[in-house]
Amino acid sequence: MGRLGETPSQTLGPFFSIGLSGEGENVLVSDGVAGDRIRLVGKVLDGEGQPVGDALIEVWQANSKGRYRHPDDTRDELALDRAFSGFGRAATEFETGEYWFETIKPGPVPDPEGEMQAPHLNLILQARGTLNPLFTRVYFPDEEEANQADLIMRMVPKDRRNSLVAEPEGGDPPTYRFDIRLQGEGETVFLDV
Amino acid sequence: MTEPIVRHYGPKAYSDHPPFNYPDYRSTVLRAPTKDMVKIVQTLSETTGPGPAWTELSEEDADLTTNAGTGGTALGQRIIVTGMVLDEAGDPVPNTLIEIWQANASGRYAHWRDEEHPAPLDPNFLGAGQCITGEDGTYRFTTVVPGPYPWPNHRNAWRPSHIHFSLMGPALGARLVTQMYFEGDPLLGLDPIYNSAPEHSRERMVASYDHDVTEENWATGYRWDIVIRGPLATPTDPEED
């Protein structure tokens, strides 16, 4: 049977915040959330190292038990958290290209071979000038062993894996920095999902 | 331990989509990745997404002519825009969050950065709306025809009338942000963003006038179906293996 062709992707343009960036969507946690709170910060840079001040970053992640709020994640033994949806959005700041999220560190999620993946956040980046969504993942620097064993990480060329690991910045709650370089030296790994 | 359901999606049909770098659209030049995407196997992280759990929308969110909440009505030609969200197999995709945004009838966005085009704002038009597709995959918005507007890409550049569409379907990997254009718009062939899509697929972004969608004494209507990535087949229940 013939399959239908996909509707082509287009840029979200410079004015997406009218439709897509609701207030407070970069705070994924609310009172009583289970798990370790973290802060994710970073900036988006173009091929000349200039800040990209009109990018939208979306995050999708499992809760502290490693469960996604989705009907296909049928693992009822891992409780859903009423205080955590797992989805957030942040628009980069116009002058600096900076973004931040307040969230929790996700628990591990299984891969199709039945092994546990290293804890990670899934990011989608779109901006004026990106014609397709860019998918990437954020891994944690304090999970070195799990990161090395991670199925997806092992598919990434060795010399580029570092671009997927956030840098610890300390603080309370612990802050992790994940800068996204669209081009050039240290170009972030983007995933064909 | 229960096994989660991991659906198998076919590879993204990159040949249906624009390239990352399309120099006629100047903003792509410094923002397109230069290295190949790294192909990965799909895990629960890619085959789930926030779409199905979305709630908290009301009927009013889908009517852009009144949802500014001023009690007034937006200026411009009132239209109904409706259609279905389908996957590649032709199956309707329910529970998909659709968020739209657009310029007003004069070609101006209600955004602080849209300040170079000397066209009037409309206090009764925010230019944003949301809905969730029904069980049969349909969506429906009421809005006004957006005006074309100038942009600094090249000399005397004008964007054709368009409505931005964001779709959050069942899976992160099926995320789609696109633009809906209008049948017969003379600016289409001149627009590098529209033309960034391959020739064989770009007309899929063009809505058709449909007299059956119009409402007498109220609004004209356009129909536009959207196709997003879908699973290749329903996976077997692991407990039956």
Query: How many interface pairs between A and B have CB atoms less than 8 angstroms apart?
Result: 262
Give domain limits for chain B. 14-231
* Burial (0-12, 13-18, 19+ Cβ within 10 Å), A50: exposed
Q: CATH number of the domain that A72 lies in?
A: 2.60.130.10
Please pick, among B164, B175, B202, B223, the residue that the annotation labels catalytic: B164
Contact A151 B196 (CB under 8 A): no
CATH number of B14-231: 2.60.130.10
Task: From A112, A54, A172, select the one nearest B109 (Cα to Cα).
Answer: A54
CA distance B3 to A173: 33
Q: Which residues does residue B220 pair with via DSSP β-bridges, in sequence order?
A: B79
Query: Nearest CA of chain A to the CA of B241: how many Å?
Result: 15
Interface test with chain A among B1, B44, B176, by most A beta carbons within 10 Å: B44
Q: How many domains does chain A have?
A: 1
Q: Is residue B31 a contact partner of residue A182, using CB atoms and an 8 Å limit?
A: yes
Per-residue tens of pLDDT for chain B, all 241 residues: 788 999 999 888 999 999 999 999 999 999 999 999 999 999 999 999 998 888 778 889 999 999 999 999 999 999 999 999 999 999 999 999 999 999 999 999 999 988 888 999 999 999 999 999 999 999 999 999 999 999 999 999 999 999 999 999 999 999 999 999 999 999 999 999 999 999 999 999 999 999 999 999 999 999 999 999 999 875 554 444 4
Query: Nearest CA of chain A to the CA of B216: how many Å?
Result: 29
Predicted pLDDT of residue B3: 87
A1: CB partners within 8 A, 6+ apart: B89
Domain membership of residue A101 as a residue range: 16-180
Give the pLDDT confidence of A113-142 residue by residue, as tens digits: 999 999 999 999 999 999 999 999 999 999
**Is residue A159, in this structure, part of any structural domain at all?**
yes
Contact A10 B43 (CB under 8 A): no
Contact B201 A187 (CB under 8 A): no
**Is residue A11, in this structure, part of any structural domain at all?**
no
The model's confidence at residue A1, banded by pLDDT at 50, 70 and 90, is low
Predicted pLDDT of residue A18: 94
Predicted pLDDT of residue B235: 52
**Is residue A6, in this structure, part of any structural domain at all?**
no
**Is residue A55, in this structure, part of any structural domain at all?**
yes
SS3 A16: helix
Please pick, among B149, B181, B194, B222, the residue that the annotation labels catalytic: B149
Please pick, among B7, B78, B108, B162, the residue that the annotation labels catalytic: B162
**Is residue A29, in this structure, part of any structural domain at all?**
yes
CA distance A109 to A156: 19
ipTM: 0.96
Pairing relationship of beta strands B149-151 and B157-159 according to DSSP bridges: antiparallel
The model's confidence at residue A151, banded by pLDDT at 50, 70 and 90, is very high
**Is residue A191, in this structure, part of any structural domain at all?**
no
B55: CB partners within 8 A, 6+ apart: none
Predicted pLDDT of residue B58: 87
pTM, entire model: 0.96
Q: Among this protein's residues, is B149 annotated catalytic?
A: yes
| Range A58-64 average pLDDT | 98
Contacts of B170 in chain A (CB under 8 A): 70, 72
Strand order in the sheet with B38-39: A87-91, A55-60, A120-127, A134-139, A191-192, B38-39
In this structure, the number of other CB atoms found within 10 A of the CB of residue B147 comes to 18
* A22 has pLDDT over 80: no
**Is residue A111, in this structure, part of any structural domain at all?**
yes
* A31 has pLDDT over 80: yes
Predicted pLDDT of residue B234: 59
CA distance B33 to A182: 5
CA distance B60 to B57: 8
